[in-house]
Amino acid sequence: MALRRGTANKRAGKGGHWMTGEGKLQGRRAVITGGASGIGLAIAKAFAREGAPVLILDLNAAGAQAAVEAIQAAGGDAEAHICDVSDASSVRKTFDGIFARGPVKILVNNAGVAHVGTVASTNEDDFDRLMRINVRSVYLSTQAVVERMKAQGGGVILNMASIAAITGLPDRFAYSTTKGAVLAMTYSVARDYLPDNIRCNAISPARVHTPFVDGFVARNYPGHEKEMMEVLGRAQPVGRMAEPEEVANLAVWLCSDEASFITGQNYPLDGGYMNLRG
């Protein structure tokens, strides 16, 4: 199901609107899963600023529509598709419709959910849910685009992993498992499609200040939100969480021609977490 679409190609100017000009992603249709909020929304906005027509895939129809309208209001080109990226038939139908209207040059596999628990406290339903949303969605969406990208002469796939994929985090058993799988898929796709001009990389953020974090703190630490946010910020050596726009800036670069020599790589965006902890 596609929602409203805009067609302007502009770049950021005063008042949040975008001036006409050539962007780093000019004219490259980009699919962003989970693009209605948080990191996905920031990536969608950043891509549109750089001239990409963005296609937001999300189950949140209201959020997806709001994202499209915000991008259009700033002069960008956007549309939304209501899609369950963990369901094969939904993915197939959505991508068939998208490719029927033109090539896709960029896929950002961003959709995902978090979970708190050890291997002992994680039940089977929660484990299966995370595998379905965080891993199966990447497999299905990548499968839906990669051979078509090959036929059209190439493209870029960017996966959102996590520092949980490369270091031990407490109480993140299922989440770490899924993000480790995302990272392994990144390397595999990059290797298999190296001869076909398809680049595949991953970004592994540390904690990012998104609406999810705000909601988690509000639910679990009512009355102590400010103190808890400070604790979460101090977990990164730089003393704060990342902002979604900082992830989006790296995503723009990795999907642009400026990164044309880069494939099969993982980029920790961690505020020094991996190497600078005391």
The three-class DSSP label of residue 79 is strand
Contact 4, 77 (CB under 8 A): no
Residue 87 shares a structural domain with residue 224: no
Task: Provide the pLDDT for residue 210.
Answer: 85
Residue 28, in any domain of the structure: yes
Residue 215, pLDDT above cutoff 70? yes
Task: Provide the pLDDT for residue 219.
Answer: 85
Residue 161 shares a structural domain with residue 109: yes
Tokens of 128: 């299966």
How does pLDDT run across 71-90, given as a tens digit for each residue? 999 999 999 999 999 999 99
List the domain range (segments joined by +) for residue 58: 10-206+243-269
Residue 17, pLDDT above cutoff 60? no
Residue 122 shares a structural domain with residue 192: yes
Residue 8, pLDDT above cutoff 80? no
The three-class DSSP label of residue 122 is coil
Residue 148 shares a structural domain with residue 33: yes
Residue 42 shares a structural domain with residue 127: yes
Contact 67, 56 (CB under 8 A): yes
Residue 78, in any domain of the structure: yes
Going 245 to 249 to 255 to 256, the CA torsion angle's sign is positive
Task: Provide the pLDDT for residue 1.
Answer: 54
Task: Provide the pLDDT for residue 3.
Answer: 56
Contact 239, 233 (CB under 8 A): yes
CA–CA separation, 37 and 213 (whole Å) = 12
Residue 5, in any domain of the structure: no
Residue 264, in any domain of the structure: yes
Residue 155, in any domain of the structure: yes
User: Whole-angstrom distance between the N-terminal and C-terminal Cα of the chain?
Assistant: 50
Please state the φ and ψ torsions of residue 20, each to the nearest 5 degrees.
-60, 135
Residue 194 shares a structural domain with residue 235: no
Residue 215 shares a structural domain with residue 103: no
Residue 22 shares a structural domain with residue 146: yes
Residue 237 shares a structural domain with residue 247: no
CA–CA separation, 35 and 41 (whole Å) = 5
pTM (two decimals): 0.91
Going 200 to 206 to 209 to 213, the CA torsion angle's sign is positive
Instruction: Say which range, 20-24, 44-48, 169-173, 247-251, has the weakest mean pLDDT.
Output: 20-24
Active site members: 175
Contact 90, 58 (CB under 8 A): no
CA–CA separation, 264 and 179 (whole Å) = 15
- Structural domain count of the chain: 2
Residue 163 shares a structural domain with residue 220: no
Task: Provide the pLDDT for residue 269.
Answer: 95
Residue 1, in any domain of the structure: no
Q: Where are the beta strands (DSSP E) in the chain?
A: 10-12, 18-20, 30-33, 54-58, 78-82, 106-109, 155-160, 198-205, 266-269
- Indicate which CATH number applies to the domain containing 30: 3.40.50.720
Residue 100 shares a structural domain with residue 75: yes
Tokens of 2: 């596609």
The three-class DSSP label of residue 209 is coil
Residue 153 shares a structural domain with residue 110: yes
For the chain, the C-alpha Rg in angstroms (whole number) is: 18
Task: Provide the pLDDT for residue 277.
Answer: 84
Share of the chain above pLDDT 90, in %: 80
